[in-house]
């Protein structure tokens, strides 16, 4: 049987061991339902690699350089006049 990366859901259920084996040996295996990709089966090591580098946005902001020495005081002495 030829190797592939896309499987119809029914066939993937029937040949699950083969799908898993190919995911380990050849890379991600796509499972389709009604012709549309619905899931991807990947090796656990690859999944860990893909998700390990993701951090939340607030963690990203907090991981930056310290800002304690930056003076961000607003000058409230005068305001611009705006014509409406």
Burial class (CB in 10 A: 0-12, 13-18, 19+), 24: middle
**Tens digits of per-residue pLDDT, 12-49?**
999 999 999 999 999 999 999 999 999 999 999 999 88
Average pLDDT along the chain: 88
Per-residue confidence (pLDDT) for residue 1, from 0 to 100? 45
More confident residue, 40 or 62: 40
Residue range 48-68: average pLDDT?
82
Phi, psi of 41 (to 5 degrees): -100, 120
pTM as predicted: 0.60
Q: SS in 3 state form for 10-52?
A: HHHHHCHHHHHHHHHHHCCEEEEECCEEEEEECCHHHHHHHHH
The domain spans of the chain are 6-62
Residue range 1-6: average pLDDT?
71
Homologous superfamily assigned to 6-62? YefM-like domain (3.40.1620.10)
């Amino acid at each position: 049987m030829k190797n592939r990366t896309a499987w119809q859901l029914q066939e993937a259920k029937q040949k699950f061991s083969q799908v898993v084996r190919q995911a380990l040996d050849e890379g991600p295996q796509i499972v389709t339902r009604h012709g549309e990709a619905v899931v991807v089966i990947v090796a656990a090591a690859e999944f860990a690699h893909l998700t390990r580098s993701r951090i939340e946005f607030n963690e990203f902001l907090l991981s930056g350089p310290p800002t304690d020495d930056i003076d961000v005081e607003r000058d409230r002495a005068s305001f611009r006049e705006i014509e409406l």
